[in-house]
Amino acid sequence: MGSWVLINARWYYVHWRSIGSRGELGMGKVVSVFTCIILSSCGGDSDDSTPNTPVPVVPTLAVTLAPSAASQAATEVDSVTSFTVDATYAGSSTDSVVPVLTFDTSLLALDGSIVQSGNKFTANFKTVSGLPAAIHKTTIALKLCKEAGCATVYPGSTQSFEYTLDVKFSDWTTRQRNPSHNGYVHAIIDPAKIARAWQYAPSATQAFREVAARAGTIYATKVVSDGSSVAVALDASSGAERWHYSLGNVSNASGPALSASDVVFATMFTSSGQNPLVILDAANGQFKRNLIFASQWSTFAPPTLYDDNAYLASGYYGNEVYALDLKAFTKTWQTSGSGGSTWDGEAPAVDAKYLYYYSGNLDVIDRVTGVIVKSIDDPFWQWNGYSYGGTPMIGSENHVVAYSGNGQGTYSISFPLVSYDIAKGTHRWRTASGYTVIPAVGKGMVYAASNQTSEFDAIDEETGGVKWAWPVPAGEKFIGNIVLTDTLAFISTDAGVYAIDLTSHAAVWSARTPGLLAITPDAQLVVSSPTSGLITAYLLR
């Protein structure tokens, strides 16, 4: 037998057993055996009589992510693109449901607030501007929480996916890549990944001019042993010839220049006022039209193309700039330079408003009308011949850098570089040394190579002072042009091509294929030899 007894605010079930001859209970003869049954809270001698609060169950919210794109492409000129991510959940909660996203903010940004519609959240993303040419990856993760601080995560709500943005290299359209002629490629290159892709070595070829390239195709001018020049288009992945077009037995033919649909070559058969600028269909090499200009035994740089116009420095006695409309097949304007000292070899630089032409002075010409807006005197000019071996380069903050003097297009001589302030109409600085090859400018620096000092120099664009230098290997001479990236500068000597690390200032890669350099939209370094019949392509990633 037994009964429930309340002792010290706890209930106990007590079993009674009598000890006596007649089974009667006696106060001094009672032995109690009891078992504690927990009705409220059992343990120790606590006086707490409050019942335990049940732990609430967090409901499961199963999330499904639906991105509008998991992989996209952009260019280094404009790396901004956009996409949306829809996050839909199944289930419900009486508490708040707060979406929390994580992603790489150096690659992506939210474009506005996250929008909720019922059980669906929509996030609009855009990629960051100014990204270098590379394959960028990030993981986009989402979880649903009870609060913004995300102390409580709903089970089943954490989901993620990998997003890839391929920022592609831009086209290489003319001398030093673009109408600014800066030779700069916004890309991070790992020298350990550079590998030879292919080599093009056609028979009876003596030399190649500088190349142009768009995605999938490389364009070149080859000089053949019979005296003719031939335009060729090569498959970028294999180096196989896609088409060719004979430019004839010309005295000189430039390297190619690219517009949206055309590939253009400046050529000269003989000294006359009737020399052809040859326009071909870039897709198949079919002839479109010749546009006529004057020249006298000239050596041509590729024309500078901008908004379907070709800008060419030439003239029977030099000192002339032509603007030729590639759609209407007409001459837009022709303007004489103020200095009268440059006959050939120059590619004028062009931006949205002006054309920049070195004539012994730096002439700033209205790109639309051909009117000289201002002419900036070069007090350091020297005469050593008719040919101009470089090109004006548009740098930062409305500054233009150009070689001072004439003659290096014909002779192996060095000239100083001069920086011009276009707004003020004055020169800013002159380098202390003379330089030889076509420079590059970018990220606040000018990179130039000198056979006078046997050094490759990094020059401060603001002051003209040399920050650091790399010595040319013994017995070698600089040739060609310089191509600049965010991490490496590529430079050629007469013995090979080198990649110079911009941080360590050391050569971190080289190949024994000297020549004229270009970086293509297919992430290739292309080297065309001006003294042999070779084009060599190297993968950059």
- Taking alpha carbons only, the member of 404, 479, 488, 413 closest to residue 443 is 488
326, part of any domain = yes
**The amino acid at 349:** A
- Taking alpha carbons only, the member of 302, 75, 298 closest to residue 176 is 302
496 and 429 co-located in one domain: yes
163 and 288 co-located in one domain: no
173, part of any domain = no
The rounded distance, in Å, linking the Cα atoms of 114 and 95 is 19
247, part of any domain = yes
- Taking alpha carbons only, the member of 336, 301, 333, 329 closest to residue 315 is 336
Rounded to the nearest angstrom, the gap between the alpha carbon of residue 151 and the centroid of all alpha carbons in its chain is 41
Domain extent, residue 340, equals 191-539
**pLDDT recorded at residue 410:** 62
Cβ atoms 485, 501 nearer than 8 A: no
449 and 515 co-located in one domain: yes
**pLDDT recorded at residue 253:** 97
178, part of any domain = no
- SS3 label, residue 244: strand
The rounded distance, in Å, linking the Cα atoms of 337 and 342 is 9
Q: Number of folded domains in the chain?
A: 3
The rounded distance, in Å, linking the Cα atoms of 363 and 531 is 33
344 and 253 co-located in one domain: yes
Strand (E) or helix (H) holding 491: strand 488-493
Q: Phi then psi for 191, rounded to 5 degrees?
A: -60, -25
- SS3 label, residue 480: strand
Residue that is last in its domain, among 134, 168, 202: 168
**pLDDT recorded at residue 48:** 52
CATH of the domain at 139: 2.60.40.10
362 and 337 co-located in one domain: yes
72 and 30 co-located in one domain: no
12 and 130 co-located in one domain: no
229 and 89 co-located in one domain: no
367 and 295 co-located in one domain: yes
Rounded to the nearest angstrom, the gap between the alpha carbon of residue 236 and the centroid of all alpha carbons in its chain is 19
Rounded to the nearest angstrom, the gap between the alpha carbon of residue 305 and the centroid of all alpha carbons in its chain is 21
- Taking alpha carbons only, the member of 208, 285, 199 closest to residue 254 is 208
455, part of any domain = yes
Q: How many helices (H) and strands (E) does the chain have?
A: 0, 46
Cβ atoms 437, 173 nearer than 8 A: no
231 and 336 co-located in one domain: yes
Q: Phi then psi for 90, rounded to 5 degrees?
A: -105, 140
Q: For residue 274, what are the contacts with CB-CB under 8 A and spacing of at least 6? A: 292, 294
- Taking alpha carbons only, the member of 352, 271, 350 closest to residue 314 is 271
3-state per-residue secondary structure call for 263-331: EEEEEECCCEEEEEEEEEECCCCCEEEEEEEEECCCCCCCCEEECCEEEEEEECCCCEEEEEECCCCEE
Scanning the structure block, which residue is given the tokens 């009486």?
A: 94
The rounded distance, in Å, linking the Cα atoms of 402 and 397 is 15
233, part of any domain = yes
**pLDDT recorded at residue 407:** 77
The rounded distance, in Å, linking the Cα atoms of 92 and 97 is 9
341 and 296 co-located in one domain: yes
359, part of any domain = yes
The pLDDT tens digits of the residues spanning 457-483 come to 999 999 999 999 999 999 999 999 999
237 and 140 co-located in one domain: no
CATH of the domain at 384: 2.130.10.10
- pTM score, whole prediction: 0.86
Cβ atoms 111, 103 nearer than 8 A: no
The pLDDT tens digits of the residues spanning 148-207 come to 899 999 999 999 999 999 999 999 999 999 999 999 999 999 999 999 999 999 999 999
**pLDDT recorded at residue 5:** 38
Q: Phi then psi for 193, rounded to 5 degrees?
A: -95, -5
For 283, what's the count of Cα atoms within 13 Å in the CB-facing half-sphere? 2
**The amino acid at 441:** V
* Chunked mean pLDDT (size 10), the chain, 541 residues: 43 44 36 36 48 79 96 94 98 96 97 97 97 96 95 97 97 98 97 98 96 99 96 98 97 97 97 96 98 94 96 96 97 96 93 97 98 97 85 95 82 89 97 96 98 98 98 98 99 99 99 98 98 97 91
The rounded distance, in Å, linking the Cα atoms of 320 and 299 is 14
Burial class of residue 133 in the structure, from the number of CB atoms within 10 Å of its CB (0-12 exposed, 13-18 middle, 19+ buried): buried
**pLDDT recorded at residue 29:** 35
**pLDDT recorded at residue 19:** 39
Scanning the structure block, which residue is given the tokens 């956009």?
A: 82
**pLDDT recorded at residue 31:** 35
Residue that is last in its domain, among 35, 53, 71: 53
